[in-house]
């Protein structure tokens, strides 16, 4: 028999993970990122960029009201974000395919360190400024001809791996 949301046996837990969204503007993706972040116990979400469309009425359909439960903030510029991540001693992990990225399964998380998982915009991926400050750059191995996937699906896979370590 299928269980309801109230009947499931999952342990409620929060992980020291901050999801950093580099110029993500599509409202369906924003809503879905809230939903997946709540499901995986993400501590908070940072949206990098100006005029991020966090209109609850428009993101509520995909977020299923999880935007009310996941702390989040908007940081408008790279310098402010870099200062925040550095001052708070995050292990900065970028999810991007680059010439020096390694498979996600090989990620190494230092003990007792908070994680900042960087995900990129729907069009341009993660900016060079953020890749430069990353401690690790990881990619998801893919086996088809396509070398990219939707940012929400990629974030879901990464969060599953990070919360399973």
pLDDT band at 28 (very low <50, low <70, confident <90, very high): very high
- Reported as a single tens digit per residue, the pLDDT across 87-135 is 999 999 999 999 999 999 999 999 999 999 999 998 899 999 999 999 9
Beta bridge partners of 19: 45, 117
Q: Is residue 111 part of a domain?
A: yes
For 71-81, letters b (16+ CB in 10 Å) and e give ebeebeebeeb
Neighbouring residues of 155: CB distance < 8 A, sequence distance ≥ 6: 19, 33, 36, 95, 117, 119
What is the layout of strands, in order, in the sheet containing 91-95? Answer: 72-75, 42-48, 15-22, 115-119, 91-95, 136-139, 102-103
Name residue, tokens 């996600």.
Answer: 104
Q: Is residue 1 part of a domain?
A: no
Q: Is residue 61 part of a domain?
A: yes
User: What CATH number is attached to the domain comprising 21?
Assistant: 3.40.1280.10
pLDDT band at 50 (very low <50, low <70, confident <90, very high): very high
In terms of residue numbers, what domain contains 111?
Answer: 15-164
Specify the number of domains making up the chain. 1
Q: What is the pLDDT of residue 165?
A: 82
- Reported as a single tens digit per residue, the pLDDT across 4-25 is 766 777 777 899 999 999 999 9
């Amino acid at each position: 028999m299928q269980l309801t949301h109230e009947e499931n046996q999952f342990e409620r837990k929060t992980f020291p993970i901050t999801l950093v969204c580099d110029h993500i503007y599509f409202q369906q993706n924003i809503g879905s990122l809230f939903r997946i972040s709540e499901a995986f116990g993400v501590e908070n979400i940072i949206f990098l960029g100006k005029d991020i469309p966090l209109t609850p009425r428009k993101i509520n359909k995909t977020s299923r009201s999880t935007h009310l439960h996941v702390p989040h903030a908007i940081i408008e510029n790279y310098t402010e974000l870099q200062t925040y991540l550095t001052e708070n001693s995050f292990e900065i992990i970028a999810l991007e395919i680059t010439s020096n990225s390694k498979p996600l399964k090989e990620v190494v998380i230092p003990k007792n360190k908070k994680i900042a998982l960087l995900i990129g915009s729907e069009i341009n991926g993660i900016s060079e400024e953020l890749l430069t400050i990353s401690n690790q750059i990881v990619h998801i191995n893919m086996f088809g001809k396509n070398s990219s996937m939707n940012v929400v699906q990629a974030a879901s896979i990464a969060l599953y791996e990070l919360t399973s370590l």
